[in-house]
Chain A
Amino acid sequence: MRIGVIKAYFKKELLDIYRSKLILMVYIMPSMLLILFGYGIKTEVTHTRTLIIDNDQSKASYDLVSTFEHSKYFNSEVKNLSENRALDLIKQDKKDLIIIIPEEFEKHLLKGLKTSVGVYIDGSFPSRAKTTENYVNGIIYDTIMKRSVSKAESKALITINARNLFNQSLRDEDMIVPGVISLVLLIAPAVLSALLIVKEKENGTIFNFYSSSVKKSEFLAAKLLPVLLLHGINIFILFLWAIYLFELPFRGSFLLYTFSSLIYIIISLSVGLLVSIITSSQIVAYVLTLIITIIPGFLYSGMLMPISSMEEESVIVAHIYPVMYYTHILYDVFLVGDGLSASKNVLYLIILVGYAAILLTVGSLLLKKRIA
């Protein structure tokens, strides 16, 4: 590799990115996505207007009612209404949730008999209803478990997973922001590296590479290094947004954050390189890169749904994409802070390095120095 050649290309790329205003896309798109998603995705449901009808009036039912009353997720009101009257309130959009505690609720619990609590949820927004249902289930099982004499019995009863988000210490932002960072750092470098190569193909300037003695390695280095450099800066910009705008904690090592992010960018720009090999127009390269990166990035980052609560097939798919590994490390450096002392983090980091090496090698091998 000749440094002079790489330097010449490198300088040209930077000038081109700057003068063609592509630089705006490099620095505005990632931050914009982070802010849009960071504020935009709220899976949390708070202040559900709740009506509780307590037909038991026992110690156990009081406990249950007070848990609801003390939760920020519910604005509870206890009233003695008939079931039909109560349901009318949902129809009139005055209440979102009605909980009916049956007579002899406590007695049945103590005897270990089956009992059923009536829960009516306004289902007009299915996802909100589903979330509310999970919250309610969580609270009810929680209360039963506390009261239960025998642990075995209560465990048999607790079959439904309470939703992860129903955890007082976890805010939505804490889950969403690292997920969006992993999404953004998958999309943006891939798009840029694909465009930088395909642009030359589309305009015909690729002939300068084909017909001169510039080596493939030199060409690749010259195309990919600017992407790594420019998006390397985004690692820090996104970090600042996360800490200062979204007030995320940062409990892990900054070095681990930077290193894993750089590796991840290499994975991303290799994806762009692969796209640039099979496309010859910028618009196709752009759309294809977006499709390839956004869907797995969004679905399998664990941002919307934790990998642990996915179906079996989805878990396998999630493990195929590199997104999951990086997101895991991000959660660790932001929220947990185990760093490399946790063997899982070490393993995931190695997997990321492996991904980067494989994708980059495959891309370089497939790139041909001649007209297709």
Chain B
Amino acid sequence: MNRLQVRKVSVTYRKKTGLKPVSLEATGGEIVGLIGADGAGKSSLMHAIAGAKSFDGEIKFDNHIYSSPKEAEKVKGSIGLMPQGLGLILYEQLSVNEHLDFFADIRGIRQDSAFKTYRERLLHMAGLSDFTERQAGKLSGGMMQKLALICTLLHRPKLLLLDEPTTGVDPLSRMELWDILNDIIAKEKTLCIVSTAYMAEATKMDRVFLFEDGEIIDKGKAGELIEKVRPFSYEAAPEPFEKSITIHGYTYSLKPLKLKPKEPTLDAVFFINFIKKYGPIPEISIVHKDRDEDVPATIMEAKGLTKRFGEFVANDHIDMELNRGEILGLLGANGAGKTTFIKMLLGLLPIDDGELFLLGERIKSSDDRQILKAKIGYVSQHFALYKGMSVRENLRYFANMHHIESERISGLIREYANTLGFYRYLDVLPTDLPMGINQRFSVAAAIMHEPVVLFLDEPTSGVDVVARAVFWEMLQRLKDEWNIAILITTHYMSEAEFCDRVVLLRDGKKITDDTVKNLYQIHPDAHNFEDIFLDYYNSN
């Protein structure tokens, strides 16, 4: 039996703690899920088990005990690690076949007929049989990830460590990845440890460990975990109760409330844990601003917007409209063209074809944008913050950049910090703060000059469940109070629920553009947005 025992393993990066001491056990044939946001410690644990990172504590696998990467050498032959990142372990310049040869050689596999059959089977399962001569750099994100998976499976590892294999992958490829996995585990009795940021995938795992802040906050079967929090989940209360959280149509409370119970999801575990640890979420409000009523109803209009990179068409004749007082979600897998589109809107990339109207003005040159800059707010992927400056200094810098009068700046920073709940972090460096806080103050930096439209590029990736929920609440209020238009991209399909209207991109093309309500009406069988998108992906 392949048995893995992790005993009090902790990981530190220079001064920072990546993982507080955790212990777990698992056996072959099992899929064990590690669920949590970026930086919660999932990757640290995987790297430690794979012997790719020094750690404290002890790991036992396959009757070998090791407590350092060096001692782990003897088990590396039977471990397969697929690190986080789309096709991270692939070499852009090598073809699919060359990859399989390379991995077979460095794993010292005898290339006999049994191996060749196995190799063919893997290629077939991954749907790559027809692409064996194609270079990895020219594969789609989903195909790259499938190739990375079969490269990791090539030496028939007894322990498979997959770090966020499905993040940023389109829904169809994601399903296929799970199919390959289930198939292999059933046949080879592999022990598989998978981490994910998607709560919905927990149902595909035998057991899950929920990670937050480098700790395991709960573990067990997904059903059991939900059972545990069922007594604390209610339909949203109209009025806030003491020591409770009301968010996304739910109210969570440790004390029994006279409310109708509501079927919880795994998210509830994180909220309940938050209440236990910190109490209710501090109230967030929005700085008051007089509504700009002379702003046109259509903030942005794109007609046939196209962007090419050489042969590759990143955006193929995309039509889109963004209206005042609307949250528009731009969804799609990695490489679908979301960021390219936003960059064209902002003038960070030249437009190859099509017309763009911002606030009713046709944009032809960068001069046309100059006047509009004051009315646009932008939060980039990974937040463009200066790491060497404190939160306050960052905000002051952005305020100056937007020509806010200097005597107003200090007051404004205080106001925004108070309302958005990061006042006590004002003099801390962004690198020492949790992602959720950075995310909120990036938004503050983008809205201090009171724009009428806000562009957000994947602001929620890597942010934990609670902070993400708070963030969506904040956007909702911002929309309500300021009547601002918001365009937001995300690869969490579940977040589509919080948008007013959704545009789905696939391979640079717009597949659908409709309100959330309408989409549910068109797809009556869908349980959630994942299902709706799968319908669109399958129909093509």
Contacts and interface: CB of A to CB of B under 8 A. Distances in A.
Nearest to B79: A211
Contact of A212 (B47, B83, B92, B107): B107
B448 to A, nearest CB: 32
Interface in A204-221: 204-205, 207-208, 210-214
Contacts of B103: 208
A12 interface: yes
A360 to B, nearest CB: 21
B81 A204 contact: no
Given A12-B98, A15-B94, A203 B88 contact: yes
A8 B101 contact: yes
Size range of the interface on B?
Answer: 20 to 34
A114 interface: no
B77 interface: yes
Given A5-B108, A203-B88, A205-B88, A370 B81 contact: no
Interface string B51-85: 11110000000000000011001001101110101
Given A212-B76, A371-B52, A12 B81 contact: no
Interface string B110-152: 0000000000000000000000000100000000000000000
Contacts of B73: 213
Contact of A371 (B47, B70, B88, B94): B47
A214 B106 contact: yes
A70 interface: no
Contacts of A16: 91, 93-94
A210 B90 CA distance: 14
Contacts of A210: 50-52, 69, 81
A7 B105 CA distance: 8
B51 A370 contact: yes
A370 B54 contact: yes
Contacts, number: 80
Given A212-B107, A370-B53, A370-B69, A207 B81 contact: yes
Interface string A6-38: 011101100110011000000000000000000
Contact of A369 (B69, B77, B79, B94): B69
A2 interface: yes
Interface in B15-74: 47, 50-54, 69-70, 73
B85 A204 contact: yes
A208 B108 CA distance: 13
B85 A15 contact: no
Interface of A: 2, 4-5, 7-9, 11-12, 15-16, 19-20, 203-205, 207-208, 210-214, 369-371
Given A5-B108, A16-B91, A207-B88, 4 more contacts: A20-B93, A210-B50, A212-B76, A370-B53
5 contacts: A4-B105, A7-B105, A205-B90, A210-B51, A210-B69
